[in-house]
Structure 1
Amino acid sequence: MRPTIVIGSGDGDLCFIARYLLDQAGYETNLQPEADDTVLAVRRVSACALLIDGRLPGAISTCEALCTLRAQRQLVVVALVDPGAHGQGLAFLNAGADEVFTRPVPPTHLVRALIAPVANRRLIHGDLKMDLSARRVWRASVPLYLPRIEFAILRCFLLDPDRVFDRRTIIRNCWPNRVFVDPKTVNVHVGRLRKRLQAKGASDPIRSVRGIGYGLQAADLSEVKGGGNGV
């Protein structure tokens, strides 16, 4: 499953040009014309980045609402404002935006700002580390090989380590679009992921919540011995 970038804007031209360029760069896009829906979408799809249009009513509040989420996982926020909207640009920066661009701006500049920090970053939780650009994983500094689906599942967990994901969400985030996957198949792949992460007697970092799904153990528990129970 490709990483997802949310675009909060009612500007059709901006949305569709950005969607085309991001698709070419290997990213999914989630278009949202309302501020409240933008916040929900960022949480729902575990977005790696957000492009927020200053013309969107409530755009600054949207940026502020994501501050708590950004403390839990990495999220790149890029804002776009109209010419002369210096006060709004400053408000975006104060609300936590990583970069602010003033119209007119080449769409390629926006895309570069959205994906450059994402492509080079690492996800870390306890003794687990993932390099997204190199597609490499380490457990307690020991390199591990993960097949495509297991890598995608672990990436999904690491992007939002405090969350418990139901099987359908895992399928949506980790399998190609328009491919039917039986929810029970998730159990098989999570089991395989567990075995690889527990190589050489390491503890089980995956948490199971019966009747709901899977997530990660708290970081301070991931190094404690003891396996998880299946769902």
Structure 2
Amino acid sequence: MCAKVLIVEDEDALRQLLSYNLGKEGYTVASSADGDEAMMAVDEEKPDIVLLDWMLPNRSGVEICRQLRAQAETRDLPVIMLTARGEEEDRIRGLEIGADDYVTKPFSMTELVARMRAVLRRTRPTLAGDVATFADIVLDRETRRVRRAERDIHLGPTEFRLLDVLIQRPGRVFSREQLLDRVWGTDVYVEIRTVDVHVGRLRKALNKRGENDPIRTVRASGYALDETYTGG
């Protein structure tokens, strides 16, 4: 299962950067630009973890964190504060109001992802792992290995990312455009038919022994991992 993260950050460039990079890391991402919008998003999106900027329009991150901790439905929702405040007493204040961790800007994505995984391991252990499974397919993000029915599957980097996107949401149909954005990125021009080529390579690697094909082609729409696992 893939963790859903809600990013609450009013700086557009940073919010977009976080959304893009966390999406590439396998998280399902939602975002808000201000405090009022953030509280509505928590109700609507039901995130597994919140990245919460300290300084926000309308309501501060501190106020939002207090509100989350005051409500029974969100009392245990993991919160990581993002802030330019680096003073020790500010960090202590952030933790005292109920934040699970505190990351000072500027930070590296490697550090942030590590902090998120550490918090999820404590609070949502089933969502923290780097291993995803579907039927007899196992994808390990940390070792970059894929196995099917106890045999190693050798994939190129693009096929690995493609499988990673599909395995996060079995049954969901991803359009070719969505796969282009998630696998290649929004800042790279790639022809739409390239998706079909790499899906073909992924199928060939997965189905070497004639197993059922787990990738379903949805005509005029895109591709999905088939929840019924009948192939085709």
Q: Matched residues, percent identical?
A: 27
1:207–1:217 contact (8 Å) kept in structure 2: yes
Radius of gyration: which is bigger?
A: 2
Corresponding residue of 1:165: 174
Measure how far apart 1:180 and its partner are: 2.0
Q: Are 1:48 and 2:27 matched, yes or no? A: yes
Which of 99, 116, 130 pairs up with 1:114? Answer: 116
1:156–1:174 contact (8 Å) kept in structure 2: yes
Structure 2: which 5+ runs fail to align?
A: 53-60, 82-92, 96-101, 121-126
Which of 182, 195, 215 pairs up with 1:186? Answer: 195
Which of 193, 210, 217 pairs up with 1:201? Answer: 210
1:81-127 CA-partner distances (Å, limit 9, x unpaired): 41695343243862762345563843258654335558842111222
Question: How many angstroms apart in 2 are the aligned matches of 1:174 and 1:212?
Answer: 17
Structure 2 counterparts to residues 44-123 of structure 1, below 5 A: 48=27, 56-67=35-46, 76-80=48-52, 81-82=61-62, 86-91=66-71, 94=74, 97-99=77-79, 101=81, 103=94, 105-107=102-104, 112-116=114-118, 117=120, 120-123=129-132
Residue range with higher mean Cα deviation, 198-207 or 172-181: 172-181
Cα gap change, 1:84 to 1:187, in 2 (>3 Å) = closer
1:9-44 CA-partner distances (Å, limit 9, x unpaired): 22x39x74x888x6xxxx8348xxxxxxxxxxx8xx
Where 1:199 maps in the other structure, the secondary structure is coil
Question: How many angstroms apart in 1 are the aligned matches of 2:160 and 2:115?
Answer: 25
Question: How many angstroms apart in 1 are the aligned matches of 2:39 and 2:75?
Answer: 7
1:92–1:100 contact (8 Å) kept in structure 2: no
1:102-154 CA-partner distances (Å, limit 9, x unpaired): 63843258654335558842111222211111111111222211101111110
- Residue-pair matches, total: 192
Corresponding residue of 2:8: 8
Question: How many angstroms apart in 2 are the aligned matches of 1:65 and 1:96?
Answer: 17
Structure 1: which 5+ runs fail to align?
A: 31-41, 71-75
Q: Which runs of 4+ in 1 moved over 6 A?
A: 51-54
Question: How many angstroms apart in 2 are the aligned matches of 1:79 and 1:123?
Answer: 23
1:63–1:97 contact (8 Å) kept in structure 2: no
Where 1:137 maps in the other structure, the secondary structure is strand
Q: Are 1:124 and 2:115 matched, yes or no? A: no
Which of 171, 184, 188 pairs up with 1:175? Answer: 184
Corresponding residue of 1:28: 20
**TM-score, normalised by the number of residues in structure 1:** 0.65
Where 1:162 maps in the other structure, the secondary structure is coil
AA at the equivalent of 1:98: P
Higher RCO by CA contacts (8 Å cutoff, separation 6 or greater):
1
CA RMSD, aligned part only? 3.8
Measure how far apart 1:172 and its partner are: 1.0
Cα gap change, 1:202 to 1:111, in 2 (>3 Å) = closer
Question: How many angstroms apart in 2 are the aligned matches of 1:178 and 1:110?
Answer: 23
